[in-house]
Amino acid sequence: MSLKSSLTPIVAGWVWISACEFGINSYWLKGQWEDYFGALGTAYPGEPMQLLVWAGWALLYALTLRMLLARFGGLFAGLISWFMVFGLTFVALGNINLMSQEFLMLLVPATLAEAVSAALVMSMFVAINRARKRANKKAKEKAKAAKDAGTPVAA
């Protein structure tokens, strides 16, 4: 497997996760996040260095999701990753009452959709890479068989 084909699903997942995170946290639920962080006595993260850390988080999440996709299908990899990344966080935050129930009720389905859709997007690229690899292998076998038979290879 070439480096390009193995990186394509990870980069696609990274872009997808980053876009989802931006859409959910910096657009749709920004007011709720600002209220939440304000209640904790801190500012909502928006500085360039903080955004760089979130980009790194999204890349690590995409790498982890790619590893899960090697073992599980897209839907199960998305569900497992959501539970490990988001679900356990929400259980902890809900347990110590750091988030309102209303906010959790918005955030839980949004992050679940993000995790499952990222896994499905990445699994699509994995499937494309596998199909391309099979086609190349078949073409090489056909060319070898034609060479062994002494006939020219038709395109």
* Residue 3 pLDDT > 60: no
For residue range 55-76, list pLDDT tens digits in order. 999 999 999 999 999 999 999 9
Quote the percentage of the chain above a pLDDT of 90: 55
CA atoms within 13 A on the CB side of 155: 0
Q: With a threshold of 0.85, does the pTM exceed it?
A: no
Q: Average the pLDDT over 131-143 and give the result.
A: 90
- In angstroms, the CA 71 to CA 114 distance is 20
